[in-house]
Structures are given as C-alpha cells and as structure tokens.
Amino acid sequence: MNNLGWNMNNSMDFSQPHRLDAGGFIVEGLLSFGRIIRSLALPLVFIAIKNGHLFLTWQFWTILGALVLLHFIYSYFRHRNFIFYVDEKSQTFVLSSGLLSKSKIVLKFENILQVNVRQNVIQQALDLYSLEIDSAGSKEKEVDLYALSEPTALALRDYLVAKNLSETDTLESIAQQQAIEDELLFRIPNSSILLVSLFTNYKQGLLLFFTFLIGLIDVFRDFIPTIDYEGYYQDYQAQWMNFIGQLLLVFGLVLLIPIGINLVKYFFTYFSFSLRKNQKGDFMMHYGLFQLQQVIFNRKKIQMMSFVQNRILKLMDLGILSLLQVNTDPEQKDQGIIHIPGINSLSREAVWQLVFGRSLTDKAIEIKKPMIGLFISRMVKLTIITLAVASLWYYRDGGVIGLWTICFLFMVLSVYNIIYYRTYQLRIYGDCLVKDDGVWDQKEIVLPLDRIISVSVSQTIWQRMPKTANLHISTASGEVVFRHFDRKELISLSNQLLYTVERV
C-alpha cells in the first residue's frame, strides 16, 4: 500500500456525493453470500445427510444458480445506492445506503476514534480497499466503505484524521507534516508473534486439560468392565492399544485448541506488525496476513495501557501491549482495544515515549503496597471454593477424599496467594498511576492522570476493623480498582487525583 501524501490527495472534493468503486458489488455480493451460507450451514448439512442425492440433480443447481444471480443483481443495485460525503458546515460525515430500506448515518468529526484502512483476500484480488470508522457512540464499526480505490481510501483517511485533530491544526500544517516521511518506530518479527501465540493464555489450556482428566476417569471406568479378560492375549492387548491410542489423539486435540485460538487471535491477525509515527505524534499501524490493516488513531485518545507477560515470555523479553480507547458499552470489553503481541522492551520504550514523552525506566515517586487483608480475603474465597469442589467430588465419587489432598490444595493456594500479594502494588508517577499484579501472568496497567474521569474510595464491612479501603479510578475505557490499601492514604491520594482531574 503506497503512502500517498496529503498534497497529492487534497484535490479530492469529499463535499460532493461519492459512490464506491464499480467493482464493489462483487465484494458486497461475495461477503453477503458467505454470510447466508454460514447461517444455512446446519440445514444444508442436515439435508445432505438425509437427502444427499438432491445435490446431484440438475434442478437443484439450476435453482441455486438463479438464486445466486438474483443475489448479485440485488447487490449491484444496493451497491449503487451507497453514497457518502462530507458536510463542512455541520462538520459531519454522512453515509446514505439501502435499496428497499433506506438508512442514513451522520457522524460528527469530534466523535471519530479510529480510521482504519483494511484489505481482505477478495479486495486484494480486485485491488480495492475498505475504510472503517469507529466512533465513541457505537458498539461496532459504524461506517464501512468496503470498495474504495487506494488513492481515495488514503485521501479520505488523511482528511478525516486531519479533521479529528485539535482546532489549532490546519490542513496546511497537516500537508507540511505529511510531506516528511513517517518515522518507523519498530517492526515486530513474525517469530516473536508466533512465540506469543504458542506460550500465552494457558488458562484456557488448563481448563480444557482438567475437563479432559475428569472425562478420562469416567471413560476409564466405563472401559474396564468391557475388557474380555477370558479371551486371547492378542485381543486383550489390541483393546488396550486402541483405547490408549484414542486417548492420546483426544489429548493432542485438547492441547491444540488453545494454540489454534491464539494463532488466529495473534499470529494471523497481527502478522508483519509495524508501528510508525507521523509528525503530529499519532500512531499508524500496519499488520495482517489474510486481511491487511492500516490503523490510525490519535495518541491523546488512549485512555489506558496494559502489558501482560507470563514467566516464559519474560525470559524471552516478550509480551502483549494493549492500548485502550474510549468504550461506551461496558459489555463490549474489546471495543477500541489495539493489541501489540510480541513486543519487547525497546519497542515498549518507543510507545511509552510516544504517549508520555519520557523514559519507561523512570523511577516512581512513590510505591504503595496493600495491607494483609488482600491476602486473607483471597485465601478465604479460594479455600471455600476448594472445600466446595472437595464436597462435590465426595458425593460424586462415593468415597472419602484423603486429608492429604485437602492439605495439598490448601498449600498450593497459599503459595499462589502469597506470590500474588507480594507482586500486587500501586506505583505513583507525576503523570500516571501503575497497577502491578499477577502470579503466572504478570500484568501492568497504566493510567494517565489526564484521562481520569472520576475517583472514589469504597470500604466493605470487612475492611472497617483493619481500616483499609479500595480506590476506584474510572476512565472512558473502563474502571480500575486498587484493593485493600490503607484508608487514610487512599483518601489523601484520591483528593490529589480529584484536584488534578478538576484542573484538567
């Protein structure tokens, strides 16, 4: 994808109504046809099993061909009614679409969060691009211009990004800035993304593993009575080898499920990741294997940052950095989140410099540790869960669980909570707060002070006697809670934060 400058694209007049590229009806037809096939997958499989001979008749293929032809004719006329333009007076982007049912979307420039340029496999074949617009008032992509030529897509992207900058930024200043080539901050090797895909999200794997073990015990109990011990030795051995082979196959598939999920989530999605910075200081990300994506968003709209790495990835100096933007729907946790898997310390330093303008290694002004109540509360909860699981196993199995089993689980949970308690801390800087926690997966959450919306202190009935409390900090991307700190210290800190919020 060529990086066309603003001075080459500013001749395009987006105040006039524009249609999508002529080949866009093919993209619309294929994508919508794929959605129809997916929705009818189960009925088609059922028909294939019960009456598979129908798929071999000429009548079936004639009807199917006629339906596909009608579908693409409908897609063509629907595509022709897809019109977009910019209203300079009201400072809005307007999209009109629909054939039988007309719809109109009016999006204010100030509400635009991200402007992404993407290209899937179909669009690559037709040399077309998709421009998607995220806004602060929508759960999903509010605008998807799925068939634009490369010059039009990049020109519209640059136009909308320029409109979404501060009022002091003019189009002439943007033109001067983009005349200089964007600075490449870093590239993430595909091997690093692959390592993150292979060595992360073990919780899913462990859950599947324990589920497999429980099922294995049931299968083993059902299998033992069916073995013919009075038969020949060869038959007895063959039954056992067949049984063990099936178990190994199922076990291998169970282990591959989390890896497959991570490959789709990280490796295929963020393949060949690179991060650039323009002269304004905004992010420009390029990534994607089957679907090429180019994402631009303003650094000032980053509400929080989080960095996660487990013990294995820490040895490799790799992790997952997530940038959280405005989230208008608490149920849609992944809305407005950009993940950067496979990032190392040097690349984290580049992002940190871009957001805060200082070094990642600067020392904190103050580090606060939680009170012992954090350890006690977690220990009580996990002990109750352990006893509940033990009781369930007892009634299910009909036997008595040994005291050593309960003691072993109690010791494991105690060690886990001790490590969690020791790693849990609040770091205070002049421009942000940082929360550290985690045992195997160590997590760091960064909260810029100028993004804080509200601050509150809460106290449960169990925290009154030890005089501890919880600090709740809300941003436009969600809430972060610091639990079981000294109440007086939290009140003093909350007053300082509220003063900072009011001053901003």
Of the candidates 463, 490, 492, 485, which has an alpha carbon nearest to the alpha carbon of residue 371? 485
Sign of CA dihedral 260, 266, 270, 271: negative
* 93 DSSP β-pair partners: 86, 107
47-51, 86-90, 235-239, 466-470: which is most confident: 466-470
Residue range 435-487, pLDDT digits in tens: 999 888 889 999 888 888 889 999 988 888 889 999 999 888 888 999 999 99
282 pLDDT exceeds 50? yes
What is the mean predicted confidence (pLDDT) over 386-405? 64
Q: Specify the residue for token string 């006697």.
A: 465
Residues 43, 39: Cα–Cα separation, whole Å: 9
84 pLDDT exceeds 80? yes
> What is the model's pLDDT at position 469?
92
Residue range 12-50, pLDDT digits in tens: 778 888 888 877 778 877 877 777 777 777 777 777 777
Per-residue pLDDT band at 327 (split at 50, 70, 90)? low
* Three-class DSSP category at 367: strand
Which helix (DSSP H) or strand (DSSP E) does residue 117 occupy? strand 112-119
Contacting residues for 400 by C-beta, under 8 A, at least 6 apart? 394
202-211, 387-396, 456-465: which is most confident: 456-465
Radius of gyration of the chain (CA): 29
Residues 330, 478: Cα–Cα separation, whole Å: 7
Q: What percent of the chain has pLDDT over 70?
A: 75
Contacting residues for 366 by C-beta, under 8 A, at least 6 apart? 427, 428
**Tokens (6 digits) for 332:** 């849609």
Assigned fold of 302-370+424-503: PH-domain like (2.30.29)
> What is the model's pLDDT at position 470?
93
**Tokens (6 digits) for 394:** 């007892």
431 pLDDT exceeds 50? yes
Per-residue pLDDT band at 93 (split at 50, 70, 90)? confident
